[in-house]
Structure 1
Amino acid sequence: MTLQVTPTAIPDMLVIEPKVFGDDRGFFFESFNAQAFAQATGIKRDFVQDNHSKSSRNVLRGLHYQIQQTQGKLVRVTQGEVWDVGVDLRKSSPTFGLWVGLILSAENKKQAWIPEGFAHGFLVLSETAEFLYKTTDYYAPQYERTLLWNDATLGITWPIQDTPKLAAKDAAGTVWSEAKFFD
């Protein structure tokens, strides 16, 4: 498995592009190979849970994180297109408080590595999108927190025209000044 790995403006958050083999019949690629992932990224993690969601246009999910049982996430889109965002919540990091946004789509087949200590969210840009992610720890609702998606301090530039469709917990997210962070 050949992977092209590109650091983002937050070097710990990575864009991962698998080698895709395609012809007039379609395409094939390995969406995950633990050995190749570790060799290409230097990251050795055990993924313990896979999640799959489907959402419609303008659905915004996030910005989610867990204050205990922190989750690293390897995310990708298998149908449609999303604007994917990671926010560094690690106080000891030189990129604390910064965010990165990128397009993930079924067409570009890019994946993003969102490290532990980050909040994560996405906005659906296509009619619908199916979003898959592997996590390094189990979902623990008692430790889940939501950072307000449109917090003015963060200033995330969401590519949206209308009011997004939000879950109640996302609409009631915590503002930056009251959020819990990681050391």
Structure 2
Amino acid sequence: HRIIAQTSPGAHTDHENHNGLDNRKTNLRQCTFRENQYNRLPTDNCRSQYRGVCWGRIGWVARIKHNSRSIWLGSHTSEVGAAKAYNRKAQELFGEFAYLNPIQWWMVRREVYHGLSAQKARNDKWNRVCNFLPAPDSCNGSRVFFHVPATPVTCCGVTAWDWISI
């Protein structure tokens, strides 16, 4: 892929779509080592499905690392809210090389967070993971089964979803 992208010596080649086997010229771009690291996928060994997000004593915490410094992006009531905070800062710091967490539009809601006691955070953890999901239908070990949206419904000026089981 270095030949296809015509990467200069000492530079790195980045795959925009994260597929190392996709060596089309449109998918390759020259970058520095650091820029290549900005575009990494999230790791599999954490509680959150999003990069830069983890569960802390006070809720979902967003952090980003830049120039060997960890930057605190705040604690949030939902995992999606923390992922949105990470996305905003990543776009600001890393520009075109930023890995943005994939957030579905139906998961996004207004996020206001001014603090939460550790006790309340522990008690409400699973209720706050995603405020658009109702109580789980069933729980089997670590797998929780929810209803998923089928069609949009508007009520009181807000678009919501009917929920059907899959």
TM-score, length-normalised on structure 2? 0.28
Structure with larger Rg:
2
TM-score, length-normalised on structure 1? 0.26
Identify the structure with bigger relative contact order (alpha carbons < 8 Å, sequence gap 6+).
1
Higher helix share: 2
Higher strand share: 1
